[in-house]
Amino acid sequence: MSLKSVRWSRSFVLLVLGLSVSALLAQDKANDAVTPVPRDGGWMKRHESFNERVKTGNVDLLLIGDSITQGWEGSGKAAWQKHYTPRNAVNLGIGGDRTQHVLWRLDNGNVEGISPKAAVLMIGTNNSGTNSSVQIAEGVEAIVKKLRTKLPKTKILVLAIFPRGADVNHPQRKVNVGANLSIRKLADGEMVHYLDIGDKFLNADGTLSKEVMPDLLHLNEKSYTTWAEAIEPKVKELMGE
């Protein structure tokens, strides 16, 4: 074997060893999606406004999530007024939130002193850029467990993370699809239920149109109506209507 071949073989072995070590380190790294952490600035003000709202009581339904849930106050306002205002619903959505932020909020007042009939949870897409599908699912599971502990009489509807990106090849959509495969296993058919309405937003070939989500992530007014109508039968069931 030539000296050049020896050097190449040694470099290849070192590369393989390096990749193996990196994989092991990644596997052993703590999953930040399950570690409660707060944010600052306007986020904290909105969080505190939630705490003030729940202190007044009269909360029968919660919608928990990130900017997609917060959007019920914007593009989804009309659908909210029709479907959720009469149900004494509270919007616990904050733009940019990841699973770890929701966990912190639940530990710090967002559900204190209330016992809603039902809660709708949809979270995880903001984790998809840095966390794996498994890690996101673990984050959602941690939220569900916390809700079950803090709100033992509340029935939970866990929604599959909505599709994002133009088509099935979008990297973060792939991560979310993988997470949903695990998230659906959280349902027990009694207190925790699962629903995937993603196909309501997609074309037959799996593509996502800007006429449905203008930035291929956030919903427009029509899409919020689609969302509300898609979960309406299950919401009625869980609220005992």
Query: 38 and 16 share a domain?
Result: no
Secondary-structure percent of the chain, ordered helix, strand, coil, rounded to 5: 55, 10, 35
pLDDT computed for residue 174 by the predictor: 98
Are the C-beta atoms of 33 and 138 separated by less than 8 Å?
yes
Q: Tell me the pLDDT tens digit for each residue of 191-231.
A: 999 999 999 999 999 999 999 999 999 999 999 999 999 99
What pLDDT does residue 149 have? 98
Exactly one of 67, 107, 132, 182 is catalytic; which is it? 67
- Please report, for residues 169, 199, 214, the alpha-carbon distance to residue 165 in angstroms, rounded to integers and kept in the order given: 8, 14, 11
Residue ranges making up the domain that contains 61: 31-238
Per-residue pLDDT of 99-118, as tens digits, reads 999 999 999 999 999 999 99
Q: Is 5 a catalytic residue?
A: no
Q: Which of 123, 183, 127, 120 has its CA nearest to residue 157?
A: 120
Cα separation of 150 and 146, whole Å? Answer: 6
Q: Considering only CA atoms, which of 171, 227, 180 is closest in space to residue 201?
A: 227
Question: Residue 101's closest CA among 119, 127, 120?
Answer: 127
Check if 188 is active-site: no
User: Per the structure, how many domains does the chain have?
Assistant: 2
Same domain, 96 and 16: no
Label residue 8 by pLDDT band (50, 70, 90): very low
Q: Do 10 and 39 reside in the same domain of the chain? A: no
Its pTM stands at: 0.88
Is 9 catalytic? The answer is: no
pLDDT at 29: 72
Same domain, yes or no, for 105 and 24? no
**Within this chain, do residues 88 and 198 fall inside the same structural domain, yes or no?**
yes
Name the catalytic one among 83, 101, 193, 218.
218
pLDDT for position 123: 98
Same-domain status, 1 and 118: no
Q: Which pLDDT value is given to residue 83?
A: 98
Clarify whether residues 92 and 206 are in a common domain: yes
CB under 8 Å to 62, separation ≥6 — which residues?
89, 90, 92, 111, 116, 118, 119, 120, 154
Least confident of 23-32, 76-85, 193-202: 23-32
Q: Does residue 101 share a domain with residue 18?
A: no
The answer on 139 and 72 residing in a single domain is yes
CATH for 112: 3.40.50.1110
**Could you tell me if 6 and 60 lie in one domain?**
no
Asked which of 17-21, 60-64, 70-74, 195-199 is least confident by mean pLDDT, the reply is: 17-21
Query: pLDDT at residue 10 above 60?
Result: no
* Contact present, 139 and 98 (Cβ < 8 Å): yes
Q: Given a cut of 70, is residue 35 above it in pLDDT?
A: yes
Query: Are residues 83 and 117 part of one domain?
Result: yes
In this structure, are 1 and 73 located in the same domain? no
Query: What confidence tens digit (pLDDT) does each residue in 134-182 have?
Result: 999 999 999 999 999 999 999 999 999 999 999 999 999 999 999 999 9
